[in-house]
Structures are given as C-alpha cells and as structure tokens.
Amino acid sequence: MSEEHYLELCESPVQFEHASSVNNVFFDEANKQVFAVRSGGATGVVVKGPDDKNSIAFRMDDKGEVKCIKFSIGNKILAVQRTSKSVDFINFIPDYPHTEFSQECKMKNASVLGFCWTNWNEIVFITDQGIELYQVFPDKRSVKLIKSQSLSVNWYQYCPETAVLLLSTSGQGNVLQPFVFRNGTLSKMTKFEIELPVVPKPAKLSLSERDIAMATIYGQLYVMYLKHHSRTANSPSAEVVLYHLPREGLCKKSHVLKLNTTGKFALNIVDNLVVVHHQSTQTSLIYDIHLREPDCALNTHQPVLPARSIHPYRIPLTDSSSWSVFQPDIIISASEGYLWYLQVKLPPTVNLQQDKGKLMDFLLRRRDCKMVILSVCSQILEGGERGSLPVVATVFDKLNQVYKEYLEAEQMYTLAMESGPSRNSAAQKRPVRTQAVIDQSDMYTHVLSSFTERKGVCHKFIIAVLMEYIRSLNQSQITVQHYLYELVIKTLVQHNRFYMLHQFLQYHVLSDSKPLACLLLSLESTYPPAHQLSLDMLKRLSTANDEIVEVLLSKQQVLGALRFIRSVGSHDNVSARKFLDAAQQTSDQMLFYTVFRSFQQRNQRLRGNPAFNPGEHCEEHVVHFKQLFGEQSLMKAATA
C-alpha cells in the first residue's frame, strides 16, 4: 500500500528565478512576495506573489548589497536596506517621482536589524537599540518620525496578520517584548519570559531566533518556542511550547506539543493545525491544540496522526536543494525557484486514525471537511454490525452538537434582526455556515438513503441506525424532518415490521406530520390499519381538517366526512359540490339523497332558502336529484 500523505504542496506554485541565476532571494511575509535580486552594474529585481498574475520587474542603482527589500501594502512604496544605518525608498505610485530618497535611524551608533511595513505609508525600523515608527510621504519624498522606543534588541519577529512585533531582549535573549501597531500608533504589550531548558553550570543557553515563530491559531495569537532539551535532561525529546499572547493581559504558557524525537525542526500553521517538519527523517507531524488527550497532562498534546512525508511535488531537485519555511503556511525552494502553500489533505487521515470519535473531532475543525465527514459516516455503517452502534451514536452526537450550535446562532441572529439595533449589543454578524455543519438533508442524501437500500445489511441494524440518528437530533432539540420518519416507515414496511411501526406511531416515537399521514394512507393496501393510524394522526394535528375530509371522501366514506366536519364546526363553510360529487360516484341513491338533503337544510338555515346559489355549481346535482326522486322531493322555501 502506498504511503498516505496527508500534507501536500499546492498544485499551482509561484515560480521565480532560482538561486543559481540570481544573487539573492528574499521573501516578504506581509505581501507573500518573493524578490529575486540580481546585482552587477544596475540591480535587477523581479517580484512575484501568489496573487500577482504577472511579475513586477524593475532596475535600481547598484548602491551596495541588498540586505532587505519589501513593498508597502499594495505595492505603493518600495523600501530597500543596503547598510546598517539607513533604509532607501522608491515610489511605485503612478505619476509620483521615482527618485530614491533615504532615512537614517535616529538613535546614535545604532544598527538597523531590519524593517517592517505596518501600513501602506507607515514603516518601523528595528535597531539593536530599539524601534522607530515612521510615516512616509511619497509625494514629498520625505519621512517623519512618529514614535520611538529605546531598548536593547537581539533580534525581532513580526506577525503581519496581527501587526504584532516581537523583540528579543536580555543577555540570554529569552525576555520578549511585544508591540502592536494600530492606525499610526505604537502600543507596548506586557513583556514575558521564555522558559529555557536547564543545563549544567557553567554552560548557558540563549534563545535563538530560529526557535521562535508567531502565528494565529483558532483566532488567537501564539508565540511558538521550539524547545531542544539537553541530552542530560530526564526527557531528552524536543517539544514545541505555545505561549498565548493576548492583546491585553499576561502572556502565558498554554500548550506543549510533544515531538518524541530530537533534531532540527521547522514550523508551519495550516488550517489551525501546527505542522512540525523534522529535517533528518523528512517527515512532518500535525497537532491540534483543541483536541484533548485524556491520558496526558492538561494542554499537553501528542501528534494527531503518525508522521508522514509531504506528498512529493514533481520537479527536478538539484543536489543543493533546500527548503525554507515561512509563516503561516509557506514553503520556498530558492534553489529551484518555487513558492508553495502547504495544504492538508483530509481523505488520507480517515484510515490513519482508528478512533472515529477522535477522527470526527479532528475533521469537524477543518476547512473542507463536509464530504470527508459524510464518507466516514458511510464507512462506519458499512460493517453492518450492532456492535458499532455506540460508535455511530458518538459520531451522530458530535455532528449534531455542531449543527445545533449553528441553528442556535442563526436563531439569535434572526431575533436580533427582528428586534432592531439595541444600544447594548454590538452589530450582530450573521453566523457563517462552515462545512462542519452537517444537516439532516446532508445525512439523508449522502448517507442514510443509500444505507437503507444496501443489500446484505441486517434490517434490524438499519432501523437501529435510523432511530439512533433521530434520538441524537431529539437530544440536541433539533426538529426532525419528516423525510427521516418516512425513511423509517418505508424500511419497516419493506421488511414487514408492521408491529414495530404500529408501536412507533402509538407511542409517538415518530412525530405527527401531514406528509407522514399521507404516506401512511398510501400504505393501506399493504397494511390496512395504516388508514386509521393516518386519520388519528391528522386529527391530532388539528390543522389538517381539509386533508382528513379528502382522505374520507377518497375512501367513499361520505357520511363519515360529513360527521367529521360537523364535529369540528366546519359544516357551514365546506363545498357542497365536493360532497355531492363523492356521493354521486358511490351510485348509492339513498346516500346521495341524505347528503343532498343535508346541504339543502344548511342552505335553509343560513339563507332562509334551500336552493343552491349559482356560485356553488350544483346544477347537475339538482338535475340528478330530480331524476331520481322527482321535483316534488326538493325542499321548498319556507313561506312566511
């Protein structure tokens, strides 16, 4: 069996000039752009990003080796660092002057470690002595200092998604100071310390930039620390420690991912999963911080699935091939000139996780999960054994919990919209229906209807599964759709389980509905008591009087229909023609006489005249009555 790769590189990578033909390749995480820089005479630059249909190519004066190069948001202004003292700017806004202008860092004797664009015209310089936030005026070709902060800096990392800058300070580099940028302002967040492994004295560890990454997981910002344990430690394996970094409040250690091995690692985030790449084995592990391990300490996580390599991408690899990893989900091969997005393939995960409850927890949190979840449901039912019912129940309950939460959110939204905007509540957003919402229609169409028709499966198991799904819906207080009840009834009838059907209806296991009552009527030829069961159901519905009349008339129970409409007080409003048609079709003359007289008496009582109005269209019935009983038998209008 071929290895099941659950990680793959996207099918349409960004291709750029590979490292053998250029001097340097840079990647800008904010714009997801690759800069291929070729120097010599003039500096040639080719920029390519995943959303760029065409490359951006231009030349710059060769003023020294390029250390860092990035466009501001929207490719409006280019910033280039060539020295440790300043950053150069070039306008890319149409009709603006293209001449370079420059800005030196303000702090004396400081070295610029790098820079980050925080807005289309705002940039922060990170120096070894602090940070400086500037506003760039492209029309004036000038730069203005907005704010600065002095502190000793070893290295930095920036998360463009949250506009949070992380600075490493202190001798060991493990005291981290975060800043957040908002609308031209710079705010200091609470600093925190990364807990380094204990090593025997006098040795000292320092925190390396390579062992830290920032990423958003399930909407929360985390600092991920790749902790390499010393060989003398009790637990020699490495681990990834996640520190939750809130906008306000303290940054706390919140999760530990056990790697169960040592070596060189790299981190990505894909679909809210932490992906850990292990260099020496060329395999990757995935972790889901929302999955709880019952046999592990709180918030300690083992890999969700066994280690697997990334599905190979068919390109010729050179001897010097090496991959660089960028947040959240980018892999770059500079030697081949490719940029890929890393993706999770869900179908292979199904056979790698035998615990279907855990598998469902995992799949329900993934982006493109619907069809895979439905295939798992079908797979579980394939066995056709009663022993798997507890597993089926667990899966149904997990699906319906998500379904219920969505329905409740939708209901809250509808109520909020109906009541209008209130002062206390923020603007209500319509809940997003994710692929994890598996409703009754999905289950009926893709799983249950085909399951009931499957040959070789015990009918008792089929009925048990259908009732298990209905139980789960009821437990979640979700109204069961009539087509599920119909599926139960058809299955019971197909296997001649009439006694069970009678019990289900008698004890209201199957909820009353007009479609269900009509289905029961259609079963009368197969199961005669179904007719009375249907009438009883329609009576209980109380809003189904018209349907009951139609049912009785179709069975030529005309007097029964008359008695029914009298019992519910509808005799004065019903169509006389409908009843007279039904009575005439029976060819029972005395029945026709009785019904005809009944409506004549109604007319007399309501209008003081037994004759039918022209609008009632009963002329042919009057003629028929005269032919049978003579004109003298017609009721005459009462005279004063």
The tens digit of pLDDT for each residue in 324-339 reads 888 888 888 877 788 8
Give the pLDDT confidence of 199-237 residue by residue, as tens digits: 767 667 788 889 999 999 999 999 999 998 765 556 678
Helix (H) or strand (E) holding 539: helix 530-541
C-beta separation of 100 from 61 below 8 A? yes
- The answer, yes or no, to whether residue 547 has pLDDT greater than 80, is no
**Residue that the structure tokens 């056979």 belong to:** 351
Query: 3-class secondary structure for 2-65?
Result: CCCCCEEECCCCEECCCHHHCCEEEEECCCCEEEEEECCCEEEEEEECCCCCCCEEEEEECCCC
Range scoring the smallest mean pLDDT among 305-314, 316-325, 562-571: 316-325
C-beta separation of 43 from 62 below 8 A? yes
28, two tokens: 């800008």
Three-class DSSP category at 163: coil
75: left (phi over 0), alpha (psi -120 to 50) or beta: left
The model's pTM is 0.79
Give the pLDDT confidence of 441-460 residue by residue, as tens digits: 999 999 998 888 888 778 88
Helix (H) or strand (E) holding 71: strand 68-71
- The answer, yes or no, to whether residue 181 has pLDDT greater than 60, is yes
Report pLDDT for 316: 56
Give the pLDDT confidence of 42-69 residue by residue, as tens digits: 778 888 887 766 678 888 888 888 899 9
- The answer, yes or no, to whether residue 153 has pLDDT greater than 90, is yes
Crossing angle of helices 498-506 and 530-541, rounded to 10°: 20
Q: Which of 250, 242, 294 is nearest to 272 (CA)?
A: 242
* Rounded CA separation 588/419 (Å): 59
